[in-house]
Amino acid sequence: MLSSKFIHAFTRQIYHTNLITSATFNVIKKHNSTHTKNDLVLVDVNDKTGFSIVTLNRPPVNSLNLELLSAFSSVLDDLHKNNSRGMILTSSSSTVFSAGLDINELYKPDMDRVRKFWTSLQDCWIKLYGSSFPTAAAINGHAPAGGCLFAMCCEYRVMLPKYTIGLNETQLGIVAPTWFMATMKNTIPLRQAELALTLGKMFKTDDALKLGLIDEIAENKEDAIHKCEIFLKKYQKIPQTARALTKQSYRKNDIMELENNREADLQLFFLAISDPRVQSSLGKYVAFLKLKSRMKPILEAVKFLKGIFKSKKKKN
């Protein structure tokens, strides 16, 4: 049962967005695209559909640091205030949707900054998962951990072939927060979610589709955005308030659980990242990522040479 407090709060919020004058929205429409500070998140509003394409833009891998999360959080506020008709979340990278949380925020953190960082992540999740406007993700690259989280917060996911998606935290020796788990439980069957979470499994696009972690596969980014638009257009015939309240009621328990325990969640996070074993795992992971990145040219050269040998063998 929905508490009357909840219904009242959300109804007020939704009516509030409906009543917002179109003036603010027109400002965005007129300019067509808006960029946040440092252009970490780009927003382009399609004049015809009214849908906003929100592009995460922090090269090389859109790892989620404090600045990117703060920028995303204020974009979500703007979309809400401007009574957005729908949002498509994507990435400016050609191979990575988002690499998840920036490990540098977790490894040997500055306590003042990490408090802001985690609070910002909580904000983004609450705003995205509970948004009154409909959302879809055009997953145009790998989406591990926090990348998968943001994609799962959206109501529809379209992904390009041959990438990977999943909550891989256990592989890093860390535990996904309960609200990460709740988002996955809301997306795929319960038992599959438990297996995926405990194994820290990353799914290839085809397997993600079979599991229901994504809804469609697209040929390229344009196709993914087009498929997201088709999904969002389905809502044009549905009364806005009824749609938004239904979505928010469906997700209410998960959201309230975090809303009511934000400080406890922060303290748990502090406790976890202060654990020397967690720091040691993170340290090893940072070193592994750096090594992998440096080895790339060598691995590519080996691949290239292998290709030459193979074609020579075929000729002979």
Structure tokens at 146: 């926090």
Are the CB atoms for 152 and 97 separated by under 8 Å?
no
Q: Which of 155, 169, 215, 254 binds ligand LDFHACXW (CB under 6 A)?
A: 169
Asked whether position 265 contacts ligand LDFHACXW by CB under 6 A, the answer is no
Q: Given the complex with ligand LDFHACXW, which of 33 and 104 has the nearer CB atom?
A: 104
What is the DSSP secondary structure assignment for residue 51, as one 8-state letter?
Answer: P
Asked whether position 103 contacts ligand LDFHACXW by CB under 6 A, the answer is yes
Q: What is the largest CA-CA distance in the chain?
A: 78
Are the CB atoms for 99 and 144 separated by under 8 Å?
yes
Asked whether position 269 contacts ligand LDFHACXW by CB under 6 A, the answer is yes
Query: CA 31 from chain center: how many Å?
Result: 26
3-state secondary structure of 33: strand
Half-sphere exposure of 108 (CA within 13 A, CB side): 5
Stretch that binds ligand LDFHACXW, among 19-27, 93-101, 220-228, 298-306 (CB under 6 A): 93-101
Residues 16-75 that bind ligand LDFHACXW (CB under 6 A): 60-61, 63
Are the CB atoms for 89 and 137 separated by under 8 Å?
yes
What is the DSSP secondary structure assignment for residue 35, as one 8-state letter?
Answer: E
Question: By CB under 6 A, how many residues form the interface with ligand LDFHACXW?
Answer: 32
Q: What is the CA radius of gyration of the chain?
A: 21
Stretch that binds ligand LDFHACXW, among 10-18, 125-133, 139-147, 150-158 (CB under 6 A): 139-147
Helix (H) or strand (E) holding 17: helix 4-19
Q: Which of 145, 160, 184, 225 binds ligand LDFHACXW (CB under 6 A)?
A: 145
CA 197/CA 307 separation, integer angstroms: 37
Are the CB atoms for 175 and 193 separated by under 8 Å?
no
Q: Given the complex with ligand LDFHACXW, which of 242 and 291 has the nearer CB atom?
A: 291
Residues serving a catalytic function are 101, 146, 168-169
Question: CB of 248: closest distance to ligand LDFHACXW in angstroms?
Answer: 25
Asked whether position 293 contacts ligand LDFHACXW by CB under 6 A, the answer is yes
Are the CB atoms for 31 and 18 separated by under 8 Å?
no
Q: Which of 17, 52, 70, 168 binds ligand LDFHACXW (CB under 6 A)?
A: 168
Asked whether position 96 contacts ligand LDFHACXW by CB under 6 A, the answer is yes
Q: Binding residues for ligand LDFHACXW, per CB under 6 A?
A: 60-61, 63, 95-96, 99-104, 106, 142, 144-146, 168-169, 172, 174-176, 268-269, 272-273, 278, 289-290, 292-293, 296
